[in-house]
Amino acid sequence: MLTLFDSSVNVVYDGPVAFKGGLLWRSFRSEALTLTQSTDSDVKMAGWLQDSGSFTRNDSYSLRRTEQLAVHAVETDGAVLDVTDATIYWGGGLGRASLDFSADLAGRAIFRSAETDDRRIKVSTPLPFHYLAEPSAWNTAWTFPEGRLQLLADDGSELTLDAGASESGRVQITLSNSDGDAQFDVDWTLWAEMLRP
């Protein structure tokens, strides 16, 4: 059982955590963790969560995984965020099997919040996101050249982001509802920070 206060973000972590670590690597897993942030929100998680990474001279890789994770957050203004069935793989870094830089993102989840008018949105990656580059070609502003993200509402309306359907540095967005489809290209920077590991 862990009870920890992080003064940098004013958060109390409370719950069972399995932690392993060494000089150059660390890993923690939890199946039930409560985060209480006195200034903003009270967050409760249930399910399986892993955060791990290795850091050596030729290897720097981080990995975040969840399996059937549920998150319930209540903001100080009473707004609620619910996430259920979150099964996500999100990792990236240098090394592992080679000295190349690689990153991957795949998974699914269901969420609802005030921003969705309390309606459920199903999120999935029909085509997982993948990036691979030699160290000489890698830079911190990289974007996924392939992958597809789908947001599906209960009323059948849908947003799809396709990383491989447009020229480099842009993504194709498709909006679909009962009135038809609309398709346009947007700059990757609108989405990249949210999707990069």
Contacts of 101 (CB under 8 A, 6+ apart): 92, 93, 94, 131, 132, 133, 134, 135, 138, 142
Q: Provide the b/e sequence for 158-187 (b: ≥16 CB within 10 Å).
A: bbbbbbebbeeebbbbbeeeeeeeeeeeee
Domain of 110 in residue numbering reads as 2-195
- For 104-141, what is each residue's pLDDT tens digit? 999 999 999 988 888 999 999 999 999 888 766 666 77
Q: Which residue has the tokens 């206060």?
A: 5
Q: Which of 104 and 169 is assigned the larger pLDDT?
A: 104
pLDDT by residue (tens digit) across 37-90?
Answer: 655 567 777 777 777 776 665 567 777 888 888 888 877 677 788 999 999 998
Query: Could you tell me if 119 and 152 are in contact, meaning their C-beta atoms sit under 8 angstroms apart?
Result: no
Kindly report the pTM of this predicted structure.
0.78
Q: How many domains does one find in the chain? A: 1
- From residue 63, alpha-carbon distances to 74, 76, 77, 91 in Å are 27, 31, 33, 4
Burial of 32 (0-12, 13-18, 19+ CB in 10 A): middle
What residues contact residue 150 under an 8 Å CB cut-off, 6+ apart? Answer: 122, 123, 124, 125, 126, 158, 159, 160, 161
pLDDT at 126: 96
